[in-house]
Amino acid sequence: MNNSKIYICTLVVVLVFAITNSLRAQFVIEQIEYEIPISYELIPEDVEFESQEDENNFFLKISESKLKEAAITEGIEIREEKAIIYIDGNNFAVETDSDDMGKITMVSNAGTGVMSTIMWEQQKVLEMSSGDMATMEEKSKAMADKMLENLPPDMREEVIAGMEKEKNKSQITYNAQPTGKKKELYGFDCEEYRVNNDEEAITVWASADELGITKEVKRFSERFDKLFNTGDDEGFNEWELISGKIPIQVITLSSSMIMSEPVMVIQIITKIDKKKPSANKFKIPGEDEGFTKGSMMDMMMQMMPGGTP
């Protein structure tokens, strides 16, 4: 091959590489989430609600600051978590910071099927692969079967019936309807949507996607659902509630899983930058940085009753 052909081939490779990289999605998304327990002291004595929906609407209209003030007055803890999402092609990272867990970063590549959880304060990295997830599901099923075998026959039948009932329970549908209200939030022009069902009441302020970010979030969600078999019917994905729109603020009023007391969860996207994240956001620290590596599967199995790695 002569020099001119080599030069042309090299140029083609460089151009293809440049075009491919220019088409890669690159975003930095800043978020914050509050979990505010509801104070019934906010309800005036002369107010009576005709339905649960009326009560939900009352609390959803109360400002975030007033809800926080009421909770603090009663000495109720408000959970706050900040998060930054980094997307660069197949690379994906979520960096969270909260009072109870400290700083934690989850890093993965949609092509490898491995997710690493970096626990910065503990200087530990936990890895989970799609194969680990399948193994853990098998072990969990085996443990559940063994526990059922040790139960008295009448209790075993009752537990199995309860499991079948839960399995066949109708999936909750989330149908977002526009209210016609509009306002600007964090620099985004938003429209209000409402979702009401028996489990929770949801208000979404969504903005038209002029950045192409919803397609990327959907691509990652579908990829990880396939890799880790996370077909979870519980809850909802706020990015899928209103097709083609960015969920800038999502307010969910529901019962707490722990205390069965009503709580309001407020998720806010405060900023979206369409830019290339720093490469070190996807770097997994190792022994040189003083970190130890472990398996997420081993840790989760140890947490289960009678579980062993």
CA dist., res. 41 & res. 4, Å (int): 81
State pLDDT tens for residues 85-111.
999 988 889 999 988 888 999 998 766
* Tens of pLDDT, residues 230-259: 555 555 678 888 888 999 999 998 765 554
Residue 11 has what pLDDT? 33
Position 18 scores a pLDDT of: 34
Average pLDDT, the chain: 79
Enter the pTM of the model. Answer: 0.74
Res. 266 pLDDT band, cuts 50 70 90? very high
- pLDDT at residue 7, as a whole number: 35
Residue 225 contacts residue 231 (beta carbons within 8 Å): yes
CATH fold of 25-303, please? outer membrane lipoprotein receptor (LolB), chain A (2.50.20)
Mean pLDDT, rounded, for 159-179: 74
Check: CB of residue 266 under 8 Å from CB of residue 63: no
Name the residue ranges covered by the structural domains of the chain.
25-303
Q: What are phi and psi of 28, to 5 degrees?
A: -130, 120
Angle at 17 between CA 13 and CA 21, to 5 degrees: 175
Residue 168 has a CB neighbour count (10 Å cut-off) of 7
- The phi, psi pair for 29, rounded to 5°, reads -115, 125
Tell whether the model's pLDDT for residue 9 goes beyond 70. Answer: no
Q: Rounded to an integer, what distance in angstroms lies between the CA atom of residue 29 and that of residue 17?
A: 26
- Our CA dihedral for 107, 108, 109, 113, rounded to 10 degrees, sits at 160
Lowest mean pLDDT among 23-32, 90-99, 183-192, 293-302: 293-302
Question: Which positions ≥6 away from 207 have C-beta within 8 Å?
Answer: 185, 188, 189, 190, 191, 245, 246, 248
- Quick one: the chain helix, strand, coil %, rounded to 5? 35, 35, 30
